[in-house]
Amino acid sequence: MNKYMLILFEHEDAYKNMSPEDYQAEFEAHGKWIQELGEHYVSGEPLEQLAKSVRGREKLVTDGPFVEAKELVSGFYILNASSLDEATELSKGCPILRLGGSVEVREIMKM
């Protein structure tokens, strides 16, 4: 089995108008999906919206996310799968898709 990172992207206002109950239901949906993944699930965490970027040789630090950003990286999962195709198929169950988000699936390089 290889490891794959599912990088979650959501619209910055995806949760803006949710009630506390709806927000809790979304977290519970992720928990249910993790249970369904079984042995494929390795780890995962949500991320805060605020970020900083460090760029180039000058190590220029900028604040983010930027106003023009429509989607933000909101979290990640690490999964075990036999192939990129299998990991991609597994990603289709991610609850973030119900809110119009997207998932980027990338194999973790073996070092």
Find tokens 């999962």 and name the residue. Answer: 77
Stated as kind and residue range, the H or E segment containing 90 is helix 84-91
- The CATH code that applies to domain 2-107 is 3.30.70.1060
Residue 11 near residue 61 (C-beta atoms within 8 A): no
Question: What is the predicted pLDDT for the residue at 3?
Answer: 98
What pLDDT is stored for residue 13 in this prediction?
Answer: 81
Distance CA(34)–CA(36), nearest Å, equals 5
Q: Give the global pTM.
A: 0.88
Give the pLDDT confidence of 2-61 residue by residue, as tens digits.
999 999 999 878 888 889 999 899 999 999 999 999 999 999 999 988 888 898 999 999
- Candidates 2, 4, 3, 1; CA nearest to 106 is 4
pLDDT of residue 42: 98
Would you list the DSSP string of 24-61? HHHHHHHHHHHHHHGGGEEEEEE--S-EEEEETTTTEE
Residue in this structure with the two tokens 């108008």, named with its chain if needed: 17
Q: Tell me which long-range contacts 28-31 makes (C-beta under 8 A, separation of at least 24).
A: 29/95, 29/98, 30/95
Which of 77 and 50 is assigned the larger pLDDT? 77
pLDDT of residue 65: 63
pLDDT given for residue 17 in this prediction: 86
Question: Per the omega criterion (within 30 degrees of 0), is the bond before 65 cis?
Answer: yes
**What number of other Cβ atoms are within 10 A of residue 98's Cβ?**
9
How high is the pLDDT of residue 79? 98
